[in-house]
Structure 1
Amino acid sequence: MPAPFACVIVDDNEINRLTLEHLVELTPELELVASLPGSLETLQYFREGGNADLLLLDIEMPHLTGLELARLLPQPAPAIIMVTTHRDFAVDAFELQVADYLVKPVNLPRFTQAIIRVLDRQKPKTGPAPAASVEAKGSELFIKVGTRMLRLNFDDVLFIEAMSTYSILVTDTQKHIVYLTLKALADRLPFAHFVRAHRSYIINTQRIDAIEDNMLALGKYEVPVGKSYQEAFYSQLRGL
């Protein structure tokens, strides 16, 4: 199993740092190794031998801005994702060849998209990337992403949500990124009680708590039933 990316957060706002720490915690490919309140502390961190594969870097900070700090980082520099409340710095950020540029408040889907971009940059260019696959055995779901195999209890999965070219498996307590489109994932699922209810959702019908106005309650989440899916979904639901 490949080691997770060592991630360092740099932001002078404590609330913003806590938000990013939570997003990192939800991302199994990342490991938080430091959360720092400013540029000077970050330079000191690296001078003392600290390491980072990825820097989540605020732009507007006292003493040194994130853009100024990025130019002073030791080489080879970590991948950088800029995080700010303003879009005005985007051109300057990409001139520094940062991996991505996030505007606060940052949500999980957009954060995940940025992390995928960073991970894609790290893939070897000498051959094709290992194919993602899903293999189910009993009540367990085996998810393979590259060389990493993640095993989940299939009964714990509430629903699967489409996010661009990847999917997110949602349980009561965690979200797991699968590098397959929702259609490709649906084609690999052998379980009859996982049903497409929307162009963006596959539902574990065994975990539906209630249905009202074409909204499905699954744990703490609500998921819509798409208009074009309603007839087939409810028909299949009655037949399970």
Structure 2
Amino acid sequence: MAAALLACVIIDDNEINRFTLERAVERHDQLTLAASFPDAVEALTYFHDGGAVDVLLLDIEMPHISGLELVKLLPEPKPAIILVTTHASFAVDAFELRVLDYLVKPVNYARFCQAIARVMEQHQPAPPPPALSAAVPTDISATGTDLFVKINGKLQRINFEDVLFIEALSTYVLLVTDKHKHIVGGTLKNMEDRLPFRHFVRVHRSYIVNLHRVEALEDNMLRLGQHEVPVSRPYQEQLAQRLGAL
């Protein structure tokens, strides 16, 4: 059975760039173009009226409302957002808004396909979490709290007791502490495989949390300091067991 096509919306005030993205969407056999807009104001009406969108290709620098401002205004649940811009300097701001990917103009079609592949991964059913082994003790204290990670091209020692959670961001992960956010190269799976600390637990396709720093769980949202992290359904039972073992 063929997978359903993903509805794609384009917002870019530059007509040539918009046309280029439209052609890229038309070439891709997993996408269908739902709408294309020259500005964010017109697009907002489409979204608030319930217009179909799975993937949003969004320019950043636009008049009236910028792409970054639009992301904050989008109704929930937000679509998978891929920012498209001429300036790579916006990358950190983009990741703060939890966009899925970030393309720099002129967009290479192969790179475009890579970004869409990430969207398609999100639409796949989440794999079930590994079963808790009876041989694993319920005491989840770690022996040692430090790990070296590569940040800005150099190895840096991080005390993981300070890390609240780890979030997937395109081809990077974000280590979030009370005071800092460290962007580290690699995937969330790579980071998960490296972590020697059993109190770091996967709770979502895009999140690993430090159970020692969880303050509350309500409506499938974990509160860690000033942050909230969602818990997806496949991980809820295991999380409840791990929290009960603390």
**1:114 aligned partner, one-letter code:** A
Tell whether 2:12 aligns with 1:11.
yes
Structure 1 regions of 5+ residues with no counterpart? 129-240
**1:41 aligned partner, one-letter code:** E
**1:118 aligned partner, one-letter code:** V
* 1:27 to partner: Cα distance: 0.6
Measured in 1, the distance between the counterparts of 2:120 and 2:94 equals 19
Measured in 1, the distance between the counterparts of 2:89 and 2:40 equals 20
* 1:3 to partner: Cα distance: 1.4
Structure 1 runs of 4+ aligned residues shifted over 6 Å read none
**1:126 aligned partner, one-letter code:** P
Tell whether 2:40 aligns with 1:27.
no
Measured in 2, the distance between the counterparts of 1:59 and 1:10 equals 9
Alignment of 1:35-74 (within 5 A): 35-74=36-75
- Deviation string 1:99-146 (CA, Å, 9 cap, x unpaired) is 100000001110001111111122111359xxxxxxxxxxxxxxxxxx
Alignment of 1:83-102 (within 5 A): 83-102=84-103
Number of the residue aligned with 2:112: 111
* 1:65 to partner: Cα distance: 0.4
Number of the residue aligned with 1:81: 82
Q: What is the DSSP-based 3-state SS (H/G/I as helix, E as strand, rest coil) of the residue aligned with 1:52?
A: coil
**1:62 aligned partner, one-letter code:** P
Structure 2 regions of 5+ residues with no counterpart? 130-246
Q: What is the DSSP-based 3-state SS (H/G/I as helix, E as strand, rest coil) of the residue aligned with 1:89?
A: helix
Number of the residue aligned with 2:156: none
Alignment of 1:137-176 (within 5 A): none
* 1:2 to partner: Cα distance: 2.2
Aligned length in residues: 128
- Deviation string 1:182-229 (CA, Å, 9 cap, x unpaired) is xxxxxxxxxxxxxxxxxxxxxxxxxxxxxxxxxxxxxxxxxxxxxxxx
Number of the residue aligned with 1:123: 124
* 1:13 to partner: Cα distance: 0.5
Measured in 2, the distance between the counterparts of 1:110 and 1:126 equals 26
CA RMSD of aligned residues (A): 1.3
Length-normalised TM-score, structure 1 = 0.52
Q: What is the DSSP-based 3-state SS (H/G/I as helix, E as strand, rest coil) of the residue aligned with 2:99?
A: coil
Measured in 2, the distance between the counterparts of 1:106 and 1:127 equals 35
Measured in 2, the distance between the counterparts of 1:20 and 1:36 equals 12
